[in-house]
Every structure is written in structure tokens, then in C-alpha cells.
Amino acid sequence: MSPAMQPHRQTRQTIVRLLSSMASAKEISQYLKRFSQLDAKRFAVVKVGGAVLRDDLDALTSSLSFLQEVGLTPIVLHGAGPQLDAELSAAGIEKQTVDGLRVTTPEALAIVRKVFQQSNLQLVEALQQNGARATSITGGVFEAEYLDQSIYGLVGEVKRVNLAPIEASLRAGSIPVITSLGETPSGQILNVNADFAANELVQELQPYKIIFLTGTGGLLDADGKVIDSINLSTEYEHLIQQPWLHGGMKVKIEQIKDLLDRLPEESSVSITRPADLAKELFTHKGSGTLVRRGEKVLKATAWEQLDIVRLKALIESSFGRTLVPDYFEKTKLLRAYVSENYRTAVILTDEAEGVYLDKFAVLDDAQGEGLGRAVWNVMLEETPQLFWRSRNGNAVNHFYYAESDGCYKLDHWKVFWFGASDFDSIRGYVKHCGERQASLQG
């Protein structure tokens, strides 16, 4: 990272304290360290829609300036759809689309160019007024060719991405703010769909994060609530078959999957509001929808089907304690669900009282990815009834409260369950949890 991008140590400490109201300082520092170790151009590409520029400019500039304050410089690409619609209408030019793409005549292109430049400068100036360094890049990035001039007019398809203007901005510690205008090799300006331009830019940069800033704050489920995470490896096929998934959102999820399939495994997409960007990036809980390619989930019904050395390392790292020496000999496995890279595991045993959750382990570097939730959801599909215990003060208890039907507090433990309603079953759960021998030591 260049000297211009290095945050003052005091500034970073101040920001950790400010963010501590929404998460632990350890959690925030973990993300800062993870992001800071990346090459500057691999941190994040932020796609900003025209509606966000119009309706939420203050929150947008505040969030982007914040990232720069902690030494992280995002690459910003923006659209200007609503602004363009208004200007074309004012000029008496009727909006025409074919297959969702805007038909662009020479008269329309003059307005497209003007609107994109105005929107770009509006964001750059707002960032600068907020104390951030930002660079206007309205051309020279996307080399394009006509998509089909007879149908779309002056609309381009990106053929090559030139990173030189972006890299120059990053070296200066300045946020590159890019429009989605393309040029042919001979210099003809072409209108390029901002989503398609973002996809080409992302494939060239291979960033750690791709961030879509929207007014909805994420992808919404059947009840209109934000879906907190999507693990494509385990959830994609089920998700796209849901009747409540409307056409626009289905296309968005398909595009995200296609994008992530061509990026490194650690890359992810976040969809959030501008005001919630810091919370989405720097806390495990997040605020928006996190989409990852994710890991497949392995299922085992015998210890011999698993890599015990890796599983033991996962459990001990997750809990920060050591398993008792005879754990695998004495624990009668019913089912285990383990992510393919052994970063998350759910271990179930069959007790006289019912199915017992013996371990739910998630590595530190997997927290905040939605991987734990993904493995948990696979387990739920085959487990209608479950009970377990968790130490008082365990940070995961808020998740357990949300997932359980009830909780009973013992001196050192909380007993959770779901799927049981009769008192005798619950009494058996509490008795078992109170008497069960500890399997972790130290």
C-alpha cells in the first residue's frame, strides 16, 4: 500500500472505537487486517446506481470517505439511469429498449455523455467536499465494439478493460470514479450498460469484494425482509425455484452466480444501502445480503468418513480449547455436516432424550461469510427436532435464541431446543444437559 493510502494509526483506532457500538473491536480489527493485506486494486469494486446518486448522495459519500479514512480505496463505477430518463424526456426523445438495453441514437448519445459526466462530477465533487480524494474517469477504461448497430444504435459491448487510469488514481491514494461509457478503437463513444461494464471490470480486477449499493438494502425474501446471506453451493438451485422470486431478482442472482463462478473462491458480493456499508464490511452480522460461491457441505454418519485430524483442528480452533483425548471414541456420531474445506461443522449425536447438537464450530476466518448459516440450514432439512446447550455468555447465543423454540437457564449453561412442545421432553433435555460431561478442556 502506497504512503498516500496509509491511514494514521490514531485515525484507525478512532474508527475501531466508533464501530465498536455495532460489533467487537476484535471483529472490526480482523476485517481491517484482512482488507489491508490486499493489493489496492483487489479490495472492492462498488457499483452505484443512478437512483442512489440522486436520492442518497450524502450517505454514499460518507461511506466511501470512511473507507478511505481506514486506508482502503474502493473503485467506484456508477450508472445514471433515472437522470438519463429525465433528460431524454425533457429533450423530447422517447425511451426505447430492446431486451432491456437502451437504444441509443446519435441525438440520445449526446445527452448520455452529458448526463454521465454531470453525474460523475457530482459524485467526485461531493467526495472532495467530504474530505476524500477522488478522481473523475469518464473515458479510457472500456474499449468497446458495436453490440449490433442496426438494432441498438450507438450501444457498445466491452472487449477490453484498460486499467491504467484506475491504477494511476489508486497510486495517488484517490478513489477512481468511473462512468460506463465505452470507446471503439477509432474513438467513437458508445453507451455501455453499467451492469455489463461492472462485470467486465470485476473480471479484470478479480476483487475481494463486489458491492452493489441499492435503496432496498439487499435481496428480499417472500416477506419483504432482507436475506442476510446466500451460499450458492448449497442454496442456489432451491432459491431460483421459489415462486416469490420475481424476474428482476432472479436475473440478478443468476448474474451474481455467473460473476462469482469466474472469480477467486474468496470473492463475494455484498448488496446493501450506502449508510450500512461499514456495518456490512466490518461486522460478522453485516447489514444487507452477502452472496458467496461458498463451499459444498459434506454429510457423514461415521467418523471414518471424515478427516478426523482436520475436524479436530477445526473444533479446537473454533472453541479455543482442546478436545478430551477420547472424544471421537466415546462420542457416538449420528450425523456430521462439514463444509468441504473444514471451516464449519455441525455434529449431532443420538441420545435417549433425542437428537443432540454436540458441536457447532466455525473458524474465525469463516465468520461473517454466511458459511455457518449455510451448514446449519443443511442440517435443519434433516433434523425436525433438536436440543443443545451453550455456555452463558457465548457470543453465538443470540443466534441460538433466534433458531430455537425455547431456552432454559442452568447455572453455567443455557439449554435450547426446537421441535418439542411437551413438558416431559423438555425436562429430559434440561436434565441431560445438566449432567452431560464436558468434552472440551483447558
CA 195 to chain CA centroid, nearest Å: 17
**Predicted pLDDT of residue 19:** 57
Report the percentage of the chain scoring pLDDT > 90. 65
Per-residue pLDDT reduced to its tens digit, 254-299: 889 999 999 988 889 999 999 888 888 877 677 889 998 888 999 9
Q: What is the pLDDT of residues 298-329, one digit of tens each?
A: 999 999 999 999 999 999 999 999 999 999 99
The amino acid at residue 263 is: L
One-letter amino acid for residue 360 of the chain: F
pLDDT at 427: 96
Separation CA 413–CA 284 (nearest Å): 24
For the whole model, what pTM was predicted? Answer: 0.76
- Judged on CB neighbours under 10 Å (0-12, 13-18, 19+), 106 is exposed
Q: Average pLDDT in the 338-366 region?
A: 94
pLDDT of amino acid 6: 47
Contact 396, 317 (CB under 8 A): no
DSSP string, 176-244: EEE--EEE-TT--EEE--HHHHHHHHHHHH--SEEEEE-SS-S-B-TTSPBP-EEEHHHHHHHHHT-TT
Q: In the predicted model, is pLDDT for residue 13 greater than 80? A: no
Mean pLDDT throughout 231-255? 85
**Residue 107 pLDDT exceeds 50:** yes
Pairing of strands 97-98, 101-102: antiparallel
Return the CATH fold of 3-292.
Answer: Carbamate kinase (3.40.1160)
Which tens digits make up the pLDDT trace of 90-105? 999 998 888 878 899 9
Do the beta carbons of residue 276 and residue 288 sit within 8 Å?
Answer: yes
> Is residue 218 annotated as involved in ligand binding?
no
Q: Please indicate if the annotation marks 162 as binding a ligand.
A: no
Split at pLDDT 50, 70, 90, the class of 228 is: confident
Residue 69 has pLDDT above 90, yes or no: no
Ligand-binding site membership of 81 (annotated): yes
Q: Which residue ranges does the chain devote to CATH 3.40.1160.10?
A: 3-292
Q: Map residue 291 onto helix, strand or coil.
A: strand
Of the chain, the percentage scoring pLDDT greater than 70 comes to: 91
Pick the most confident of 37-51, 214-228, 300-314, 369-383: 300-314
Q: Which CATH architecture has domain 297-441?
A: 3-Layer(aba) Sandwich (3.40)
Q: Which residue has the higher pLDDT, 385 or 277?
A: 385
Task: Tell me the average pLDDT across 139-163.
Answer: 96
Give CA–CA dist 47/8, Å, rounded.
28
- What confidence score (pLDDT) does residue 238 get? 87
Confidence grade of residue 395 (pLDDT, cut at 50, 70, 90): confident
Q: What is the mean pLDDT of the chain?
A: 89
pLDDT above 60 (res 144): yes
pLDDT tens for each residue of 179-201: 999 999 999 999 998 888 999 99
Residue with the larger pLDDT of the pair 208 and 388 = 388
Q: How many CB atoms lie within 10 A of CB 432?
A: 17
Q: Return the residue matching grid coordinates 467526495.
A: 127
How confident is the model at residue 7, as a pLDDT?
A: 44
- Inform me whether the pLDDT recorded for 222 exceeds 90: no
Are 198 and 45 in contact by the 8 Å Cβ rule? The answer is: yes
Q: Is 108 annotated as a binding residue?
A: no
Residue 4 — pLDDT band, cuts 50, 70, 90? very low
Range list for CATH 3.40.630.30 in the chain = 297-441
Range in 4-18, 52-66, 218-232 the model is least confident about = 4-18
| Residue 22 pLDDT exceeds 70 | no
C-alpha 268/C-alpha 420 separation (Å) is 37
Is it the case that residue 5 has pLDDT exceeding 50?
no
Q: Which one has a higher pLDDT value, 231 or 408?
A: 408
pLDDT value at residue 216: 86
For residue 3, the model assigns a pLDDT of 43
Average pLDDT for 396-402: 93
Amino acid at 105: T
Kindly state the average pLDDT of the residues 70-99.
91
Give the model's pLDDT for residue 129.
Answer: 95
